[in-house]
A and B are shown apart, each in its own frame.
Chain A
């Protein structure tokens, strides 16, 4: 019982620390620096503490402190409760969804069975969908409660876009579910031990469609019509300042991590290295004793998982800095006329092949 407690607390702390402590601040810096490198610039590099500029990493610290000391503004006529609650509503689902994503397999440590997922839910995927659908309210309420027309339009756009892409996303994932026959993310992970059983080989079309839908659900660059600067000032967070505004952003950044986690788990073999099964890994580390071997294997698996996640974060950032924004009707057309039929075709073909 105590061991279970310690295990789950350690896992929660790890994921929470990884998300809030590492990814949320560092992604702000990464986005800045990556865009700079991609555009042949140098990027933020002048903030220094005692003469040290850790290639501009202190700029995100400066941003954080500045944002904390910025005036917190609530416009007149705004609904204060919802105006304050909206950033939290959009931030919390982004953190919570990570608790069903496995970041490692199953190991036996000192006679104790360790499963590297915070909550091994039977309906893991549906849980993610449920909470990502709750994230809509953050945008909608933020837009409505600001008492501002730009915000309202942004909120309406956000809700319409997120609703329609949720439908499409649900359909794109069904192909994967048919292949692996489970909603449990750990089971899906275990089944991808064989390199040629990875989701990307089973469902290449599903992968492309899912990534598109996920980016659209996250409201990032090619699909950032809810916050289009050229049309509606800053969309649903026009009236937000200081910390609340940054909370929307943090939610966005954490959702990038979550999307990368899901894509890694469903399509890129979760925590497995290609061509190396768990058994091989364990036997490879046999020199360290049985406990040491499983600890080493665990570390290798966690590292593999997070390297894959970081790769997909990088990929999403590249997409964000490469593609221009869609028009609103194009976003809707892409969803209902392209992705939805294609995902239905994908389901049909998968059914033909696998359920003969």
Chain B
């Protein structure tokens, strides 16, 4: 477990990723009897209103005098205009990786089809020039895919990986969500980070 977490050579708490020096046990009051001060309510209410008012005032100041270069207090992501960068560990939509020449790496062994818990993958295998196996059809039903990453994990050829793509998946029509091979192909360059990540992570944990 620890092997997995100290990637950055820092001592981290295995659960939350907070340095151990900073972790302090938080005191929880177990008795639910209110003290006299609390049962007066009014001061506790004022305290609560102080917190919300502080947020309100600080944010209003932030709206009026926009801080330049600093991180803004309101961290809402203005999604269609602004996108968050996603770490390599994120499992986005599965894609098929191609060689440099544009041919897919997949050899249509059928392991991903077997392991897929949602039965979302369907492969039709064929042979090229009598020796190379390749999928003549590779369908991925995105309306069933649960992004578990088993296919990536089981793939012996690093041919299917979970990319960082998450946009444009919503559809008005369910039949459009069945992706063909052509829609799934991506160059090796575009998923380089993820391939490196899986090499590192799966070599450490041997099941």
Contact = CB atoms under 8 A, between A and B. Distances in A.
Nearest to A43: B76
B56 A322 contact: no
Contact of B52 (A38, A42, A208): A38
Most buried by A among B52, B63, B76, B78: B52
A42 B63 CA distance: 10
Interface string B53-96: 10110011001000000000111101000000000000000000
Contacts of A39: 55
B137 interface: no
Contacts of A40: 55, 59, 73-76
Interface string A297-333: 0000000000000000000001101110000000000
Contacts of B53: 318
Chain A interface mostly: helix
Chain B interface mostly: helix
B45 interface: yes
A34 interface: yes
A41 B76 CA distance: 6
B56 A37 contact: yes
Contact of B74 (A42, A319, A321): A42
Contacts of B49: 318-319, 322
A38 B55 contact: yes
A34 B56 contact: yes
B169 interface: no
A37 B60 contact: yes
Interface in A30-57: 34, 37-42
Contacts of B52: 38, 318, 321-322
A24 to B, nearest CB: 23
Interface of A: 34, 37-42, 208, 318-319, 321-323
Interface of B: 42, 45, 48-49, 51-53, 55-56, 59-60, 63, 73-76, 78
